[in-house]
C-alpha cells in the first residue's frame, strides 16, 4: 500500500506537500477568516508556515499510513487547501481552503476522494468535529455521508475560549460504533439536527 498516494478528481490533484509548498501554505495559514475555527492562530511569517508544514505534513509521510493531502487545482498544482486524517484513535478528518475558493464544492470534492482512498485502505472509520458557529463545515461532513453523533463543550486550546463542538462519524467498514472519547471527556448532549 502506497503511503499518501496521489489522488485525482475532475478539478483537483491531491498530493503530498513538499518543502516548496511553504509559500502557498503561508497564504492559507495567515488568513484570519480561513483559520477562525481551526486549532491554531493565523501564522504571521513564512518561517512559521514552514514550521507548520514540517510538523503537520512532512514529518507525517514517514508513517506507515498517512493521509495528509495538499489540495491543488489540476491546471496549477499549487496548494489552495488541505485534507487530513489524524493517525490517532479518533481518525479525525479535517480540511481547510483558501477563501477565494469557498462555495464551489472544492472541499467536498477533495474530501470525497480521500474518503474513497480510506475505504480502499480498509480504514474502519473516521470522525470529524465542527464548531456550532461553523455550520458549513458540518454540511461538508453530511455530504460525505457522516452522521451526527453528539455535541460537547470544550475550553478550546490554544485559543482558550469555550466551544460547543458537533461530532460526526462515518463507519467505512459498516460496523455500528460511536467514538466516545469526547463524550467521556467533556460535558455532552445530543441535539435535534436537520439533515441536508
Report the topology of domain 7-189. Answer: Aminopeptidase (3.40.630)
Burial of 122 per CB tally in 10 Å (0-12, 13-18, 19+): exposed
Q: How far apart are CA 40 and CA 17, in angstroms?
A: 19
Output the pLDDT for position 195: 55
Q: What is the mean pLDDT of residues 17-24?
A: 98
Please, what is the average pLDDT of the chain?
Answer: 94
| Per-residue pLDDT tens digits for 166-187 | 999 999 999 999 999 999 999 9
| Residue pointed to by grid coordinates 463524550 | 183
Domain spans of the chain, in order of start: 7-189
Q: What is the pTM of this model?
A: 0.93
Q: How many Cβ atoms from other residues are within 10 Å of residue 139's Cβ?
A: 15
Q: How many Cβ atoms from other residues are within 10 Å of residue 168's Cβ?
A: 25
| Per-residue pLDDT tens digits for 53-94 | 999 999 999 988 899 999 999 999 999 999 999 999 999 999
Amino acid at each position: 500500500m502506497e503511503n499518501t498516494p496521489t489522488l485525482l478528481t475532475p478539478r483537483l490533484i491531491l498530493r503530498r506537500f513538499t518543502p516548496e509548498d511553504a509559500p502557498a501554505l503561508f497564504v492559507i495559514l495567515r488568513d484570519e477568516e480561513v483559520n477562525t475555527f481551526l486549532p491554531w492562530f493565523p501564522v504571521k511569517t513564512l518561517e512559521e508556515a514552514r514550521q507548520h508544514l514540517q510538523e503537520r505534513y512532512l514529518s507525517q509521510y514517514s508513517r506507515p499510513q498517512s493521509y495528509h493531502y495538499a489540495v491543488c487545482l489540476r491546471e496549477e498544482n499549487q496548494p489552495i487547501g488541505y485534507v487530513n486524517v489524524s493517525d490517532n484513535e479518533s481518525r479525525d478528518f479535517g480540511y481547510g481552503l483558501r477563501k477565494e475558493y469557498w462555495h464551489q464544492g472544492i472541499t467536498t470534492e477533495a474530501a470525497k476522494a480521500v474518503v474513497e482512498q480510506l475505504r480502499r485502505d480498509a480504514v474502519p472509520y473516521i470522525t470529524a468535529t465542527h464548531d456550532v458557529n461553523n455550520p458549513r463545515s458540518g454540511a461538508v461532513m453530511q455530504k460525505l455521508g457522516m452522521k451526527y453523533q453528539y455535541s460537547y463543550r470544550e475550553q478550546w486550546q490554544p485559543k482558550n475560549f469555550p466551544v460547543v463542538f458537533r461530532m460526526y462519524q462515518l463507519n467505512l467498514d459498516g460496523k455500528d460504533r460511536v467514538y466516545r472519547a469526547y463524550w467521556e471527556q467533556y460535558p455532552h448532549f445530543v441535539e435535534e439536527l436537520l439533515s441536508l
